[in-house]
Amino acid sequence: MKLISSFRDFQFTAGVHEYPDVEETTGIKFSIEIIAENDHRNFHTGEYETAILLIDGKGELNYQDQNIALQRSNWIDDNPCVIHLPKDDTVQINAHHQCRLAIVQTKNPDSFPGRVYIPGDIDVEHRGKDQLDGTCYRLVRLAFDRTNAPKEAKLVLGEVLNFPGKWSSYPPHHHPQAEIYYYEFSPTEGYGHGELGDKVYKLKHQDLLMITDSLDHSQVAAPGYYLYYIWAIRHSENDPYTGFEFTKPYDKLIS
């Protein structure tokens, strides 16, 4: 297991930037794509179930007969807009200002109706707010899971806003399904630490962590820096993700 750091200290430019080795390890393909101001991008999903999440920017999404405005100034204050597509589907995104997108994909032969999740559709949980003196208070933003996505879908997608100096994914937890965390910081020179089993990684802006083999995971942000991460889980065959299990004996902390 390793932390993918190939885009640490890298300035993304217009185009697609795919994180290597992630699909081979987790079954989830992850890319960051930049659409320049006044440019557009036509996406075709091919054999992949695809979720496109707006990290920041302003534009318009054209899907089937829908024209949906996209706008997100930053990930601290605003919820994302997400489009969730089946295989062999298409969508066009027009950028009025530069748009920065996360592209999350997994191979899925099954089809289902595509859906756009606007910011008001995102479920926001103030997780840990009244626990452990607020030291693990964070915002968990769920785009879709088995409760609101078609049963044919193989992805679960959400975000976490980890407040400065606080923990998230805490107490440590685990689940058998593969997962990825894509991290950003504000300010971008910030850092944190992430646990993966008994290993601890120093986390920096634009790192990605691959989680497999039911390893425990949690993280903490350094004081003064917001930690944001996109999390995506792939349902295992005959074992869909329906939740996680806190690691003993730390589960007693919030029981």
How far is it, in rounded angstroms, from Cα 98 to Cα 38? 8
Q: Using CB atoms within 10 A of its CB, is residue 255 exposed (0-12), middle (13-18) or buried (19+)?
A: exposed
Tokens of 73: 């100034």
How far is it, in rounded angstroms, from Cα 225 to Cα 26? 29
Which candidate, 147, 67, 46, 63, places its Cα nearest to that of 113?
A: 63
Residue pLDDT tens, the chain, 255 long: 467 767 998 999 999 999 999 999 999 999 999 999 999 999 999 999 999 999 999 999 999 999 999 999 999 999 999 999 999 999 999 999 999 999 999 999 999 999 999 999 999 999 999 999 999 999 999 999 999 999 999 999 999 999 999 999 999 999 999 999 999 999 999 999 999 999 999 999 999 999 999 999 999 999 999 999 999 999 999 899 999 999 999 999 987
Task: Give one word for 57, left, alpha or beta, with left for phi > 0 and alpha for psi -120 to 50.
Answer: left
How far is it, in rounded angstroms, from Cα 35 to Cα 225? 27
pTM (two decimals): 0.96
Domains and CATH numbers, the chain: 3-254 (2.60.120.10)
Residue holding tokens 């089937």?
64
3-state SS class at 23? helix
How far is it, in rounded angstroms, from Cα 51 to Cα 34? 15
Tokens of 182: 């894509």
